[in-house]
């Protein structure tokens, strides 16, 4: 070992902020479906606004490697179940691209479900390619259940309100 004292490297606060943001992006998720009135977001720690701003900016402007869990929530009396699949986007894309790309996947999945029991479709996405969404499936279904995905009247009402908002904007 050398007896030379270690030189202190100057810290670049912007680089440190980027590193913290990269670590926190792995916790980010977004979701949507007929049971929620708008896209839902989570996993961002807002206690440090500068980090949160970097994360949001990166997710909206810089393409990420996204994975999507999508499901059809069904009900027959008191029995509820969810048919789901997981899709790797295969290319880097932004949050808005994910929302557009998942619609045909949901339509295809829902067409294979008995419409007599179908209550609502939904999707959940993460911006990292190495998270096992199949293993998280129970947690995702529970999250959607909390949002009312198995309640037909709730989903019909929420979806109707979303359609009204779209018409007002158009």
Q: Is residue 34 assigned to a domain?
A: yes
DSSP of 72-89, one letter per residue?
EEEEETTEEEEEEEEEEE
Look at the chain and count its residues.
170
CA atoms within 13 A on the CB side of 119: 26
Q: Is residue 33 assigned to a domain?
A: yes
Q: Is residue 8 assigned to a domain?
A: no
Cα torsion angle, 35, 40, 43, 49, sign? negative
Burial (Cβ within 10 Å: 0-12, 13-18, ≥19) of residue 123: buried
Q: Is residue 6 assigned to a domain?
A: no
Tens digits of per-residue pLDDT, 32-68? 888 887 778 887 777 777 777 877 888 888 888 899 9
What is the distance between the alpha carbons of residues 67 and 106, in angstroms, rounded to a whole number? 14
What is the distance between the alpha carbons of residues 37 and 42, in angstroms, rounded to a whole number? 15
Query: Residue 93 — pLDDT band, cuts 50, 70, 90?
Result: confident
| Mean pLDDT taken over the chain | 84
**Domain that residue 136 falls in:** 13-169
Tens digits of per-residue pLDDT, 94-132? 877 888 888 899 889 988 888 899 999 999 999 888 889
Q: Is residue 90 assigned to a domain?
A: yes
pLDDT at 141: 95
Q: Is residue 66 assigned to a domain?
A: yes
CB 121 within 8 A of CB 144: no
Number of domains in the chain: 1
- Quote the tokens at residue 36: 């929620």
Q: Is residue 4 assigned to a domain?
A: no
Q: Is residue 5 assigned to a domain?
A: no
Q: In the predicted model, is pLDDT for residue 144 greater than 90?
A: yes
């Amino acid at each position: 070992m050398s007896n030379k004292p270690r030189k202190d490297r100057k810290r670049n606060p912007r680089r440190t902020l980027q590193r913290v943001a990269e670590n926190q992006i792995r916790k980010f998720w977004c979701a949507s479906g007929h049971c929620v009135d708008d896209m839902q977001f989570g996993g961002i720690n807002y206690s440090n606004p500068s980090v949160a701003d970097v994360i949001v900016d990166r997710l909206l402007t810089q393409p990420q490697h996204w994975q999507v869990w999508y499901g059809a929530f069904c009900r027959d009396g008191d029995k509820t179940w969810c048919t789901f699949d997981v899709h790797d986007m295969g290319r880097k894309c932004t949050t808005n691209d994910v929302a557009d790309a998942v619609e045909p996947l949901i339509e295809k999945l829902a067409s294979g479900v008995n419409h007599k029991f179908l209550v609502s479709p939904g999707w959940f996405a993460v911006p990292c390619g190495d998270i096992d969404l199949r293993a998280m499936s129970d947690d995702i279904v529970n999250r959607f259940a909390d949002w009312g995905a198995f309640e037909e009247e709730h989903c019909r009402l929420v979806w109707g309100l979303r359609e009204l908002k779209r018409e007002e904007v158009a």
